[in-house]
């Protein structure tokens, strides 16, 4: 890994709250984003415990990557963190305390759109401390079966992500691709509103397990034999765009401002986190990574 340069750290000008229903539980939950001092990082706080529990958004705290990214151990864990983290990282908010009164943030429409709008409405300000820009010295690839994820050295100090989604012939989600240079402006305009998606048989399986019983196809993207059920795509390649959003959220767990060219093919949270862990081992480590503790 090598340093490319520096930029000012950023935080919120004021606190802001977003409320809604958890995608998995159906419970009413809220997330409160609060400004934080330089070098604080992104830290989740479970406020529903008598003694609030803090979980730093670090890859060392990842305990699950099946269909979503989970931090912490039961009962002190928080799941489906990727959309919140994508909103923060996509808008380049480095320091923020994220208070949640449940084990998942509001699911909303399965995108990061309302989070991003709330953060932009709160205002984002520069801080005195600097954030290092990092890139790789040579391409690094992680792979599992037909899925792969590669990061190559940065060009022009930018982060570009390219995703190819391909579930094979006969799938109702057609093969598609999205390429995006990530800036706060492009994230808000091109990615934040792109929703998570499932195939109809996957949704049926999840609900048979008691997960997401309150969700209907109108609430997010459920693909049936002929495309989205009771819903319409916001972009022709919205699923591929959402995969880019997920990568941004998972990369936030590196805790660094990463630049480079990322190319992904059929990858998901497991490979995203595998790449983050691999990169993390190559970076200078802070003297102390906060574990779970009272707020």
**Catalytic annotation, residues:** 269
b/e 165-175 (16+ beta carbons within 10 angstroms → b): bbeeeeeebee
Is the Cβ–Cβ distance between 180 and 195 less than 8 Å?
no
Taking the C-alpha atoms of residue 238 and residue 236, their distance in angstroms, rounded to an integer, is 6
**Residue 265 parent element (H or E):** strand 260-265
Partners of 42 in the β-ladder: 96
Cis amide leading into 90 (omega within 30): no
Q: What does each C-alpha distance from 266 to 35, 63, 148, 150 come to in angstroms?
A: 36, 22, 7, 12
């Amino acid at each position: 890994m090598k340093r490319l340069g520096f930029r000012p750290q950023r935080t919120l000008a004021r606190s802001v709250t977003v409320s809604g229903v958890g995608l998995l539980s159906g419970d009413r939950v809220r997330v409160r984003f609060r400004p934080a001092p330089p070098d604080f990082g992104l830290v989740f706080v479970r406020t529903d415990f008598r003694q609030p529990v803090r979980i730093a958004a670090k890859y060392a705290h990842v305990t699950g990557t099946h269909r979503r990214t989970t931090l912490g151990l039961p009962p002190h864990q928080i799941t489906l963190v990727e959309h919140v983290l994508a909103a923060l990282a996509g808008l380049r908010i480095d320091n923020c305390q994220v208070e949640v009164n449940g084990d998942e943030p509001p699911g909303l429409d399965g995108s990061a759109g309302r989070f991003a709008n709330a953060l932009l409405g709160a205002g984002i300000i520069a801080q005195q401390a600097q954030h290092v820009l990092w890139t790789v010295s040579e391409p690094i690839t992680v792979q599992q079966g037909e899925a792969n994820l590669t990061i190559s050295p940065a060009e022009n100090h930018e982060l570009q992500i390219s995703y190819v989604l391909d579930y094979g012939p006969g799938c109702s989600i057609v093969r598609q691709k999205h390429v995006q240079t990530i800036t706060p402006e492009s994230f808000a305009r091109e990615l934040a509103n792109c929703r998570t998606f499932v195939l109809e048989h996957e949704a049926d399986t999840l609900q048979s397990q008691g997960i997401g019983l309150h969700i209907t196809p109108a609430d997010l993207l459920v693909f049936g034999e002929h495309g989205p059920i009771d819903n319409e795509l916001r972009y022709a390649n919205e699923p591929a765009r959402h995969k880019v959003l997920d990568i941004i959220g998972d990369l936030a767990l590196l805790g660094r401002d990463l630049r480079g060219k990322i190319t992904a093919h059929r990858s998901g949270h497991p490979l995203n986190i595998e790449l983050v862990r691999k990169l993390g081992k190559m970076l200078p480590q802070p003297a102390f990574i906060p574990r779970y503790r009272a707020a």
